Amino acid sequence: MSANLFDLSGRRALVTGSSQGIGLALAKGLAQAGASVILNGRDGGKVGAAAAQIPGAQTLVFDATDHDAVRAAIDNFELSGGPIDILVNNAGMQFRTPLEDFPADAFERLLQTNVASVFHVGQAVARHMISRGRGKIINIASVQTALARPGIAPYTATKGAVGNLTKGMATDWAKHGLQCNAIAPGYFDTPLNAALVADPAFTGWLEKRTPAGRWGKVEELVGACVFLASDASSFVNGHILYVDGGITASL
């Protein structure tokens, strides 16, 4: 198989929530595969600092939960900056507390950040992709798309929704030449998981529960992202690719 199948030269990729963690790692990986990358977040300072780590990276600052702001930002960029060929919907948040005590406002924030943002940005970008007859959308799901753990039931619900929204995107948009898939990371050492990484008891549990016996490194998500962003996945649609060290495969 030719390595050219994975070459992203000449493609432009927008990664939401890419000022740190998984989003930044994926943006760097896409750039290394040849793509021109656009970093996004709500904080222009953080996004600019992240973009400085990637030669030639552009920035597009907007709140992914604001439908009108998303539409305006995407439409203006397509008009002046060129086509967005690849979208990685990575923006997300976590909130941990027992379900019986879970604040209603935190539940709403999770819904907006983890689910509504995928709809808002996905729809805005897809409208342009559809007119061109091609495009790649990669949503960041989670091991919690398939499994639950105490204290994060609403997060689990949002990531289950991302998985099914991915299938819906594929069902509606594959006929227009788009491939819409998801990456479902297991437990990775990221700022979102800092409290868990710092907890020896949790880390000990995770090492025993995961067949690979360790936390994932964010760089280990890059290969899956490049695959789903490239011509190598031209007939892959509506798929959820678990990158989790085997945790969903084992009791």
Per-residue pLDDT tens for 95-124?
A: 999 999 999 999 999 999 999 999 999 999
* pLDDT interval class at 191 (50, 70, 90): confident
User: Would 137 be classed as within a structural domain?
Assistant: yes
Residue 85: domain span? 3-244
User: Would 249 be classed as within a structural domain?
Assistant: no
The residues, ordered by sequence, that sit 6+ positions from 168 with a Cβ below 8 Å of its Cβ are none
- Residue 44 burial (C-beta neighbours within 10 Å; 0-12, 13-18, 19+): exposed
Tokens encoding 105: 């406002």
Percent of the chain with pLDDT over 90: 96
Mean pLDDT of all residues in 173-178: 98
* CATH number reported for the structural domain that contains residue 18 in this entry: 3.40.50.720
Q: Answer for the pair 84, 128: CB distance below 8 angstroms, yes or no.
A: yes
Q: Distance between CA atoms of 90 and 18, rounded to whole angstroms?
A: 7
Q: Distance between CA atoms of 110 and 241, rounded to whole angstroms?
A: 22
User: Would 199 be classed as within a structural domain?
Assistant: yes
Candidates 102, 155, 173, 215; catalytic one: 155
Percent of the chain with pLDDT over 70: 99
* pLDDT interval class at 2 (50, 70, 90): low
1 pLDDT higher than 70: no
User: Would 132 be classed as within a structural domain?
Assistant: yes
Q: In what order do the strands lie in the sheet with 58-61?
A: 58-61, 36-41, 12-15, 86-89, 135-140, 178-185, 240-243
User: Would 107 be classed as within a structural domain?
Assistant: yes
User: Would 123 be classed as within a structural domain?
Assistant: yes
Q: What is the pLDDT of residue 192?
A: 81
For the chain, the maximum distance between any two Cα atoms, rounded to a whole number of angstroms, is 53
Q: What is the pLDDT of residue 240?
A: 98
Domain count, the chain: 1
Mean pLDDT of all residues in 5-13: 98
Q: Answer for the pair 191, 21: CB distance below 8 angstroms, yes or no.
A: yes
DSSP label of 169: H
Mean pLDDT of all residues in 226-243: 98
Answer yes or no: 242 catalytic.
Answer: no
Mean pLDDT of all residues in 18-25: 96
Nearest to 248 by CA among 135, 145, 115: 145
Tokens encoding 27: 């943006």
Mean pLDDT of all residues in 26-37: 98
Q: Answer for the pair 143, 242: CB distance below 8 angstroms, yes or no.
A: yes
User: Would 251 be classed as within a structural domain?
Assistant: no
User: Would 90 be classed as within a structural domain?
Assistant: yes
